Structure 1
Amino acid sequence: MGAQEDDPGSLKSSRSSKLNVGSGILPVVEIESLVEKAKFYTSLCLGTTAILAVFGFLFLVPFVIEPAITTILSDFTPIPVACVVTGHVYAEGLRNCSWSSCREGCTSAALRCHQIKVNYTKASYEEVIAKPLERHWDVADTKFFVNTEGCGYPPRVNCSEFAKKFGYRNMGKIFPCYYSRTNPETVVARYSWDDNLKHLVLALTVPVVLFGVSLGVLCFWYCPPMSKTCSSPGRNLLEKYDRKEDILEEDGFEGEEEEY
């Protein structure tokens, strides 16, 4: 008999739940909860992006930004001139590798090195090829480098292939090269003003933009907008959520009421 009777409290609870569902309160709460979760994970991603952007910028300074600025200051000739290899030495040991035409890796000392020296003329490579008998070398026995840094990483920089291309049996062959107009003793095999400028702009703008956008969105979400400042009194992120002590007190109070 008792099992068949309906509990007034349960009937009231079921009516209340039906009312909430019918009035659209529960869906609104669920939507707000999803929005809060999405905002939390988005904030986490933005914060991670900002941190990685800082570390990425610090990493790009010695590997991209500084060499690009050095290249601009060196003022290499945009038109390739004619070069010819006059000497090629392969050395091993730290003492014997005081300088290297090509080094795989820009942070460690070279234990094996190719030292190549060239003669070059300030006339363009095309002019020298067109008139091979009229040849005059403006600078003799100067150091020759694979690029403006004299180093790099595979597969772009392969010192063995570089040595095979310009040294050994290819010594004496005329090839295009680029010399520095501010330091005529510096000659490189690869140079491109457009690529150098592109790498410099990307290295400066991409990390800064990522950091600025991430930080701006986070400040917009968690700092009071416009008239308020982050230090002004207001509802901050910690005040949006109930404290653990308050939740325990409320649960204890409700439990006492039910026992009563």
Structure 2
Amino acid sequence: MTSKPSFTLLSLAETAKFYTSLCLGTTAFVSVFAFLFLIPFVVDPSITSLMADYDTEPVTCVATNHVYAEGISNCSWASCREGCTREATRCHQIHVNYSRVPFRKYNKDKIVHWEVTNTRFLINTEGCGYPPSVNCSQFAKQYGYNTAGTPFPCYYSRMYPEFVVSRYSWDDTLRNLVLSLAIPNLLFIASVGLLSYWYCPGCGRSCQKYMHHFPDK
């Protein structure tokens, strides 16, 4: 009779270990696919944005031309695309002039010297995104159509001066990069590490020999 509670506790421990192992294995599996998914959508764009070295303070831009085109042959590039993995069949193409004068210092009564003229204007480094954060119709209304000649803030690349975008935040870009690298990899390492400790006795002994053992007093 005394062995029954012990048997029950052992069964509960084994059941808990089984389901915990199942959760850890699923977490490791999902983490790998999440990281692979984040590479083209977050990691690569963030690295490209940081390497472009955009000026963190918005400068002064003015739209010079806006073309709305249809057909893949007419949409070799687009200022904004809703979806980064498919060819654009309809596109907005906006060109701008920009001055390195900060937008907050812009004075409409003074003559502005445009450092770069008639260059392509993109919503972000990739020129694409997904709703609701990217809405190309709203983007075109804000920067194209009848707004030509009206100054607005924009961000230019110090590494590639012909790159001009409407949105950029160094803090947000770095935060997204760090989180997309850290979270999936840490979850994968923690899950695989715990599973290895439970089911690979040799791994535990290998780790112990690297631990410093203090002499007994």
Q: TM-score, normalised by structure 1?
A: 0.77
8 A contact 1:128–1:134 mirrored in 2: no
Q: For residue 180 of structure 1, what is the amino acid of its counterpart?
A: S
Match of 1:60 among 26, 34, 38: 38
Tell me the SS of whatever aligns to 2:126: coil
Match of 1:153 in 2: 130
| 1:175 CA displacement | 0.4
| 1:223 CA displacement | 1.2
Q: What is the 5 A alignment of 1:59-138? A: 59-129=37-107, 132-138=109-115
8 A contact 1:75–1:182 mirrored in 2: yes
Partners of 2:9 and 2:110 in 1: CA distance:
83
Partners of 2:124 and 2:45 in 1: CA distance:
10
Match of 1:249 in 2: none
8 A contact 1:68–1:196 mirrored in 2: yes
- Number of residue equivalences: 206
Distance 1:167 1:228, change over 3 A: closer
Tell me the SS of whatever aligns to 1:181: coil
Give deviations 1:127-177, integer Å, cap 9, x for gaps.
213x63231111110000001111000000000000001111222110000
When structure 1 is superposed on structure 2, of 73-82 and 132-141 the one drifting more is 132-141
Partners of 1:160 and 1:145 in 2: CA distance:
14
| 1:227 CA displacement | 2.6
Partners of 2:13 and 2:190 in 1: CA distance:
20
Tell me the SS of whatever aligns to 1:203: helix
Q: What is the 5 A alignment of 1:1-20? A: 20=1
When structure 1 is superposed on structure 2, of 76-85 and 167-176 the one drifting more is 167-176
* Larger Rg computed on CA atoms: 1
Match of 2:210 in 1: none
| 1:228 CA displacement | 6.1
Answering whether residue 119 of structure 2 is matched by residue 163 of structure 1, we say: no
Give deviations 1:59-99, integer Å, cap 9, x for gaps.
11111111111111111111110000000000000000000
Tell me the SS of whatever aligns to 2:155: strand
Match of 2:212 in 1: none
Answering whether residue 33 of structure 2 is matched by residue 33 of structure 1, we say: no
Match of 1:240 in 2: none
Answering whether residue 180 of structure 2 is matched by residue 206 of structure 1, we say: no
Match of 2:161 in 1: 184
Answering whether residue 217 of structure 2 is matched by residue 226 of structure 1, we say: no
Match of 1:246 in 2: none
| 1:197 CA displacement | 0.1
8 A contact 2:197–2:204 mirrored in 1: no
Tell me the SS of whatever aligns to 2:121: strand
Q: For residue 208 of structure 1, what is the amino acid of its counterpart?
A: N
8 A contact 2:52–2:157 mirrored in 1: yes
Tell me the SS of whatever aligns to 2:73: coil
Partners of 1:110 and 1:186 in 2: CA distance:
20
When structure 1 is superposed on structure 2, of 77-86 and 219-228 the one drifting more is 219-228
Q: Which has the higher contact order (CA 8 A, sep 6+)?
A: 2
Partners of 1:228 and 1:59 in 2: CA distance:
34
Partners of 1:83 and 1:132 in 2: CA distance:
16
Answering whether residue 124 of structure 2 is matched by residue 139 of structure 1, we say: no
Partners of 2:170 and 2:104 in 1: CA distance:
19
Identity of aligned residues (%): 57
Moved over 4 A (4+): none
Tell me the SS of whatever aligns to 1:221: helix
